[in-house]
Amino acid sequence: MQSSAKIFSGTGSQYLAEKIAEKFGAPLGKVTIQKFSDGEIQPIFNESIRGDVVFLVQSTCAPTDNIMELLLMIDAARRASAEKVIAVMPYYGYARQDRKDKPRVAIGSKLVANMLTAAGADRVITMDLHAPQIQGYFDIPVDHLDSSAIFIPYIEQLNLENLTFAAPDVGSANRIREIASYFNAEMVICDKHRKRANEIASMVVIGDVTNRNVVLIDDICDTGGTLTKSAGLLIDKGAKSVRALCTHPVFSGKAYENIQNSVLEEMVVCDTIPVKQQIDKVKVLSVANLFAVAIRNAFEHQSITSLFIHSQRRDK
């Protein structure tokens, strides 16, 4: 008997899982997430998954409950005799805790990897980890998708002249360099220094942006402080326009206010996390088709290399 691919969703990513299932060409599986009065979670699959390859779509935004829900869904699928259980995590929370950068702190991204493996996940499909080396925290395969497959076509249709790409910090330089190379464009770096999390003490621009149309690219927009301050500094240094492209719209604190009141032309984000408030400057691009293709290729044991376009140099 040949196994089937079945896609289920946790409560945190229902909106996206429905679109992924539609692009995949199969109905979204039926699962009930029951909650006890004290908040305890109990997932129940409402259909047989014995011998099937089960894909569980759940981003870990508002992380605690969603992570626990995903772990329990993995365990339930295992106990229901699924052939394989694959965690589809468009946004992998706790990825910013990827090292001991000060004494006596946790490495949250490693802990989450351990929990997913211990729960019984056979594979993880995710997008734009805060640090690509987090893949090394797993002892199971990780398919690490790249938002450049979404953003590059969008940038191309803008037809911007004097295009320059900007990294909002030194850590993003490699990602931005690859995209700049694709467009044969220049790049600059906004070097920042933090006093503490979510608070920037100082920032300088490394490179010339005079009369350039600048595209800032980052993986996470939390409060919007880094991107909006970078945009303001780039305009002060002579940039003609600045727009930001960001994969994961965490948008906490005063993020919406910061973005709307900034000099940014627009903030383009993916729907890995639901955008809770509609404002003029925020535009959402869907990752549903990209994940649907990745899920199909994983199920059919095909390569996902075709989903990566950022390393293909564009001819002028």
Q: What is the mean pLDDT of residues 10-14?
A: 94
Active centre residues (catalytic) = 192
Let me know whether 70 and 154 are in one domain: no
CA-to-CA dists, residue 202 to 205, 206, 225, angstroms:
11, 13, 12
| pLDDT reading at 241 higher than 60 | yes
DSSP-assigned beta bridge partners for residue 8: 56
| pLDDT reading at 85 higher than 80 | yes
Let me know whether 177 and 268 are in one domain: yes
The pTM for the full model equals 0.92
Residues 291 and 246: their CA atoms lie apart, in Å, by 17
Let me know whether 120 and 162 are in one domain: no
Let me know whether 13 and 130 are in one domain: yes
Residues 243 and 155: their CA atoms lie apart, in Å, by 10
| pLDDT reading at 266 higher than 90 | yes
Q: Is residue 277 part of a domain?
A: yes
Q: Which CATH number is 91's domain given? A: 3.40.50.2020
Q: How many domains does the chain have?
A: 2
Q: Is residue 311 part of a domain?
A: no
Let me know whether 115 and 239 are in one domain: no
Q: What is the pLDDT of residue 227?
A: 92
Worst-scoring range by mean pLDDT, 7-16, 98-107, 168-177, 191-200?
Answer: 191-200
Better pLDDT: 203 or 16: 16
Q: Is residue 315 part of a domain?
A: no
Q: What range defines the domain where residue 79 resides? A: 5-145+289-306
Q: What is the pLDDT of residue 192?
A: 67
Q: What is the mean pLDDT of residues 244-272?
A: 96
Better pLDDT: 192 or 216: 216
Let me know whether 214 and 294 are in one domain: no
Let me know whether 154 and 104 are in one domain: no
Q: What is the pLDDT of residue 282?
A: 97
Q: What is the mean pLDDT of residues 31-38?
A: 95
Let me know whether 173 and 281 are in one domain: yes
Let me know whether 102 and 157 are in one domain: no
Let me know whether 192 and 280 are in one domain: yes
